[in-house]
Amino acid sequence: MAPRGRVPGARMVLWGLLVAVVSACAQHEPAAGAGKAASAANTAPPGAAPPGRTPRGGAPPAAAPGDPGAGPRTALSGDGVHIEYHVYGHGEPAVMLVHGWACNEDYWREQIEPLASRYTVITLNLAGHGASGRNRTDWSVANYAQDVAAVARVIPNPQLVLVGHSMGADVALAATPLIGARVIGVIAVDALRSVGEAPLAARDIERRIAPFSADFIGQTRSLVTDSLFEKGADPVLAQKVAYDMSRVSPAVAVPSMRSLLSMDLTTLLPAIRAPVFAINSDLAPTDAARIRKALPDFHLDVLDHTGHFLMLEAPARFNPLLLADIAALAQGTPH
């Protein structure tokens, strides 16, 4: 699908930065901002439901006898950081929702109730996000993958589907070999556009990171409101996300961004044995044919007239696609 021309070339570079599309945009100069941020330790955006609380639309399904309920619960990651997570509903497979760069579990609030009516649903806060621990110095995708694997180890369900938004998709892919055969599929949300592209050089990575180090709040808020939502999107939601994102600690966000931009998916993808699907917005094109050269089972849905946070912007259209993907993975049937 061709882009609709709403993201200027310079802005596209930083938007791509967040969703690992940077290779396709390397010919442009970086703009002044990027990011997705939220932290329960730093106040949630005005009007948003606090992370881990009752999802919008009603209470989560009741817990079974002896079940501690939704949570919060904690797991211990490989480096000793406590990872907060919540569990909703009952059913197979378990669906783990992994948030994106500098976001938190509350970004999945519109998906919890529809999914929990059929499946066990797990939301988690990666280290440094939400109420998870911050006693870490290596803010890398590899360590975030360990966070996901730590939660997976305490989930009893025999089968797992990992769903990751933006950087969360890279984290989910990196976690898949750590978890092993229990992972029956990975669903990326507005991500993976750079699969099959050459990785960025270290010099280019540092040039793209520099604006965030200089003025994280200003650059991030500008990028979100100008480029991560389509024209005509809900301005209240855009402002909430911009506020949310800009409040993340740069000490966590900047090195996480560096790690994301440094990822070479060609070294990771051969270890992925499970099918990989994606539900992407049409803010930028996704070359499914190129991606299938590395991921033969790749299936793509494009949700038109949405931005980077499509699961929040259009849940009535997004959720049926997500449910269909999970059902296909659970049944082992071709999409």
Question: Per-residue pLDDT averaged across 242-267, rounded?
Answer: 92
User: What pLDDT was estimated at residue 36?
Assistant: 34
Nearest to 189 by CA among 295, 290, 253, 101: 101
The 3 state secondary structure assigned to the chain is CCCCCCCCHHHHHHHHHHCCCHHHHCCCCCCCCCCCCCCCCCCCCCCCCCCCCCCCCCCCCCCCCCCCCCCCEEEECCCCCEEEEEEECCCCCEEEEECCCCCCHHHHHHHHHHHHCCCEEEEECCCCCCCCCCCCCCCCHHHHHHHHHHHHHCCCCCCEEEEEECHHHHHHHHHHHHHCCCEEEEEEECCCCCCCCCCCCHHHHHHHHHHHHHCHHHHHHHHHHHHHCCCCCCHHHHHHHHHHHHCCCHHHHHHHHHHHHHCCHHHHHHHCCCCEEEEEECCCCCCHHHHHHHCCCCEEEEECCCCCCHHHHCHHHHHHHHHHHHHHHHHCCCC
- What CATH number does residue 162 fall under? 3.40.50.1820
Residue 53 falls inside a structural domain: yes
Q: 10 Å Cβ neighbour count for 101?
A: 30
Min mean pLDDT across 118-132, 175-189, 231-245 is at 231-245
Model pTM score: 0.83
Residue 5, Cα to own-chain centre: how many angstroms? 24
Residue 200 falls inside a structural domain: yes
Distance CA 266, CA 291 (A): 11
Any idea what the Cα angle at residue 168 is, between residues 167 and 169, rounded to 5°? 90
pLDDT tens track for 18-62? 444 333 333 333 333 333 333 333 333 333 443 334 444 444 444
User: What pLDDT was estimated at residue 224?
Assistant: 86
User: What pLDDT was estimated at residue 307?
Assistant: 96
Residue 188 falls inside a structural domain: yes
Question: What is the pLDDT confidence band of residue 7, given thresholds at 50, 70 and 90?
Answer: very low
Q: Which amino acid, residue 134?
A: R
> What percent of the chain stands above pLDDT 90?
71
Distance CA 97, CA 259 (A): 21
pLDDT tens track for 146-190? 999 999 999 999 999 999 999 999 999 999 999 999 999 999 999
What does the mean pLDDT of the chain come to? 83
Question: Per-residue pLDDT averaged across 195-209, rounded?
Answer: 93
Residue 2 falls inside a structural domain: no
Question: Per-residue pLDDT averaged across 218-242, rounded?
Answer: 91
Distance CA 191, CA 168 (A): 9
pLDDT tens track for 257-291? 999 999 998 899 999 999 999 999 999 999 999 99
Residue 55 falls inside a structural domain: yes
Residue 4 falls inside a structural domain: no
Residue 1 falls inside a structural domain: no
pLDDT above 80 (res 1):
no
Domain enclosing residue 21, as ranges: 9-331
Nearest to 72 by CA among 133, 25, 14: 133
User: What pLDDT was estimated at residue 333?
Assistant: 82
> What percent of the chain stands above pLDDT 70?
79
The structure tokens listed for 31 are: 């703009």
Domain count for the chain: 1
